[in-house]
């Protein structure tokens, strides 16, 4: 959630632009001139949302011809807070279409950073025949616990999608990994370990991984 990650979003997503194929980024015309994608200080080569605050990219995943980019976003204000997962898609990693917000805060807290994977073999059991699940692992950050000075502010939660990332269902038994004693316990990265036939999760616990 640092300025460093914000800089990475603006400078590190090479090839990510709001392109001429985007209805709000068409060639110059009276209507397009007023478009938010033609604002004087709007990055034209890197992805940026239509409005409000954004931070680091999350859950970069490819499925069936579509690249998905999720990102930290406050959809209601241009400052940090009220953190959701925004969502954009691309067929070529250059031209991006912003989608509806993917994940919103709930009783467990704000939706902090994480990762997403395609569970092609349905190892989670969350998929259906012919409908493999996209699975997102993210950190639930409790502002209520934070205000109380508690240590278990952050836990790991899961959500899944059966319609190519358009809608998401949060796992009924979240959190899937409870806080293990660290005030900073976040940013799960999940990958498939083929040799061991299992999923591995790396995450940050204060100054350790």
Active site residues: 56
d(CA 90, CA 96): 5
Would you list the DSSP string of 48-101?
Answer: --SSSEEEEEEEEEEETTEEEEEEEEETT-SSS-S-EEEEEEESSSSBEEE-S-
Q: How many helices and strands in the chain, by DSSP H and E?
A: 3, 10
């Amino acid at each position: 959630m640092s300025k460093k990650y914000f800089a990475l979003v603006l400078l590190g997503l090479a090839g990510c632009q709001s392109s001429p194929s985007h209805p709000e980024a068409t060639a110059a015309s009276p209507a397009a001139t007023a478009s938010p994608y033609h604002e004087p200080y709007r990055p034209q080569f890197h992805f940026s949302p239509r409005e409000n605050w954004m931070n680091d990219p999350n859950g970069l995943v490819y499925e069936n011809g579509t690249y998905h980019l999720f990102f930290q976003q406050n959809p209601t204000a241009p400052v940090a807070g009220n953190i959701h997962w925004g969502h954009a898609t691309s067929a070529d990693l250059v031209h991006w279409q912003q989608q509806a917000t993917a994940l919103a805060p709930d009783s467990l807290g704000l939706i902090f950073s994480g990762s997403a994977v395609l569970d092609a073999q349905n190892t989670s059991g969350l998929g259906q025949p012919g409908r493999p699940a996209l699975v997102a692992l993210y950190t639930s950050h409790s502002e209520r616990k934070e205000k109380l000075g508690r240590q278990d502010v952050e836990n790991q939660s899961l959500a899944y999608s059966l319609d190519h990332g358009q809608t998401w269902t949060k796992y009924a038994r979240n959190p899937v990994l409870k806080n293990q004693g660290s005030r900073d316990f976040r940013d799960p990265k999940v990958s498939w370990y083929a040799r061991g036939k299992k999923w591995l999760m790396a995450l940050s616990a204060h100054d350790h991984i």
